[in-house]
């Protein structure tokens, strides 16, 4: 099957879903990650500050592209990256990096249609969206672009945004509120090998280290260790159509 993961930025899919992507590809599926807001000046752990201001976006965007490609290469041709080349919130909305949370999605944002059409062109059998934990406007916009369709007959699931998840309100309550708001019936699904927690942590650590312009060692470790909450697995929140495809999607 074709599975699409909608990733607000280059790194979100890897931080949240490395074990799931491992499982899907091992089961013979093809995975496409749609990177929405990939033009950026945000790279706090890089030498971007030494670059002239006029060149910073090009420098950081290229750097983050190389990081994402280093993660993709771990899977070979079974994983495809689709870059929508849109500006992230600080560039698009002319706000500071510390102002990206607590905003409402602009229903007239052209990004909504662009993301929707990109996913439709791939014609996937299943789609995975961010929950929007932490309230980052780019995550909310990516989710909003397609969430109305999640009540339909296609397989949809939502992933827990990492590293925002540990800082959010209790996730179960967040999901319940989202389900009420959009008339969704979402159930938790665990993906991965519960018998090998240490290997799962090591795998997630390796994936997170690909993005060393974005996270320091402590953040990498928090991302790696998050799967311990689920016994070395990752949790999705899925609709009935997704559950109907199980166990294929939970391999």
**pLDDT by residue (tens digit) across 22-39?**
999 999 999 999 999 999
- Dihedral sign for Cα atoms in the order 61, 106, 167, 14: negative
Q: Distance (Å, rounded) from C-alpha 2 to C-alpha 28? A: 10
Contact at 8 Å (CB) between 114 and 38?
no
pLDDT of 169 higher than 80: no
Please tell me the predicted confidence (pLDDT) of residue 151.
84
| Average per-residue pLDDT for the chain | 93
pLDDT at 205 over 80: yes
Confidence band for 249, pLDDT divided at 50, 70 and 90: low
Number of domains in the chain: 1
Segment 54-61 shows an average pLDDT of 96
Position 247 pLDDT exceeds 70: no
- Conformational region of residue 120, where left means phi above 0, alpha means psi within -120 to 50, and beta covers everything else: alpha
Residue 250's pLDDT is: 61
**pTM score of the predicted model:** 0.95
pLDDT at 157: 97
Q: What percentage of residues in the chain have a pLDDT greater than 90?
A: 87
For helices 217-225 and 197-208, give the axis angle rounded to 10 degrees: 140
What was the pLDDT predicted at 137?
A: 97
What digits encode the pLDDT tens for the residues 95-116? 999 999 999 999 999 999 999 9
Please report which confidence band the pLDDT of residue 167 belongs to, taking 50, 70 and 90 as the band edges: low
What is the span of the domain harbouring residue 59? 2-250
CATH of the domain at 159: 3.40.50.10320
Separation between Cα atoms, residue 57 and residue 64, nearest integer Å: 10
């Amino acid at each position: 099957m074709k599975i699409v993961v909608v990733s607000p930025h280059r790194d979100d899919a890897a931080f949240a879903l490395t074990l799931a992507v491992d499982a899907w590809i091992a089961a013979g599926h093809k995975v496409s990650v749609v990177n929405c807001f990939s033009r950026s000046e945000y790279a706090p752990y890089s030498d971007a500050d030494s670059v002239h201001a006029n060149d910073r976006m090009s420098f950081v965007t290229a750097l983050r592209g190389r990081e994402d490609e280093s993660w993709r290469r771990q899977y070979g041709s079974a994983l495809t990256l689709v870059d929508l080349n849109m500006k992230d919130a600080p560039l698009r909305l002319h706000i500071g990096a510390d102002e990206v949370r607590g905003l409402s999605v602009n229903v007239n944002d052209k990004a909504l249609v662009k993301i929707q059409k990109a996913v439709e062109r791939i014609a996937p059998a299943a789609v995975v969206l961010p929950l929007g934990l932490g309230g980052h406007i780019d995550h909310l916009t990516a989710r909003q672009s397609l969430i109305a369709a999640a009540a339909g007959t296609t397989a949809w699931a939502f992933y827990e945004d990492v590293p925002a998840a540990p800082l959010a309100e209790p996730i179960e309550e967040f999901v319940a509120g989202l389900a009420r708001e959009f008339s969704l019936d979402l159930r938790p699904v665990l993906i991965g090998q519960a018998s090998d927690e240490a290997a799962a942590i090591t795998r997630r650590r390796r994936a997170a280290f690909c993005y060393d312009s974005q996270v320091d060692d402590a953040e990498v470790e928090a991302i790696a260790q998050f799967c311990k909450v689920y016994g070395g697995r990752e949790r999705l929140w899925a609709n009935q159509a997704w559950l109907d495809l199980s166990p294929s999607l939970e391999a």
